[in-house]
Amino acid sequence: MHQRMDRRRLLATAALGGVVGATGLGSLAPEAAFAAEATAVGPGLPDPNFAEGRISKISGSMLLVTGSDTVLHSIRITDGTSIWKLHPTTFDRVAVGDGLYARGVRLPDGTLAADSVWVNIVNLHGHIASVGRNLLHLDHKGQRIVAHVVPDRSAAVYNGTPAVSDMSLLRVGRHVQVLGAWHPDTNEIDIATVYAAA
Partner 1 sequence: MAALRGEVSWFCCGSAWGPCGSAGGGACGTCRSGNYQHAWPNTSDACLAITRPDACGVTGMSRRGCGFRHYTTNLCNGARIGTTIADCGPQTDLFCGERTCCGSACGSNRIIDLTPAAYSVIASLSTGLRPCSVDTV
Residue ranges that bind partner 1, judged by CB under 8 A = 30-32, 34-35, 37, 39, 41-47, 50-54, 67-69, 82, 84, 99, 101, 103, 116, 118, 120-125, 140-143, 145, 159-160, 175, 177, 179, 182, 184, 187, 189, 192-193, 195, 197-198
Q: Which is nearer to partner 1, 10 or 178 (CB)?
A: 178
Q: Which is nearer to partner 1, 3 or 16 (CB)?
A: 3
**CA end-to-end span of the chain:** 42
Q: How far is the CB of 183 from partner 1 (least distance, A)?
A: 9
**DSSP codes of every residue in 88-123:** EE-GGG--TT-EEEEEEEE-TTS-EEEEEEEESEEE
Q: Which is nearer to partner 1, 16 or 84 (CB)?
A: 84
Q: How far is the CB of 54 from partner 1 (least distance, A)?
A: 5
Q: Which is nearer to partner 1, 76 or 115 (CB)?
A: 115
Q: How far is the CB of 59 from partner 1 (least distance, A)?
A: 20
Q: Which is nearer to partner 1, 16 or 148 (CB)?
A: 148
Q: Which is nearer to partner 1, 16 or 107 (CB)?
A: 107
Tell me how far apart the alpha carbons of residues 1 and 150 are, in angstroms, rounded to a whole number: 41
Q: How far is the CB of 117 from partner 1 (least distance, A)?
A: 10
Q: How far is the CB of 76 from partner 1 (least distance, A)?
A: 18
Distances (CA, A) of 140 to 3, 77, 164: 42, 33, 24
Parallel, antiparallel, or unpaired for β 175-182 and 50-59? unpaired
Query: Beta-carbon neighbour count of residue 112 at 10 Å?
Result: 23
Q: How far is the CB of 17 from partner 1 (least distance, A)?
A: 26
Phi then psi for residue 31, to 5 deg, are -65, -40
Question: Does residue 36 sit in helix, strand or coil?
Answer: helix
Tell me how far apart the alpha carbons of residues 81 and 111 are, in angstroms, rounded to a whole number: 14
- Reference 55, options 20, 87, 21, 91; nearest CA is 91
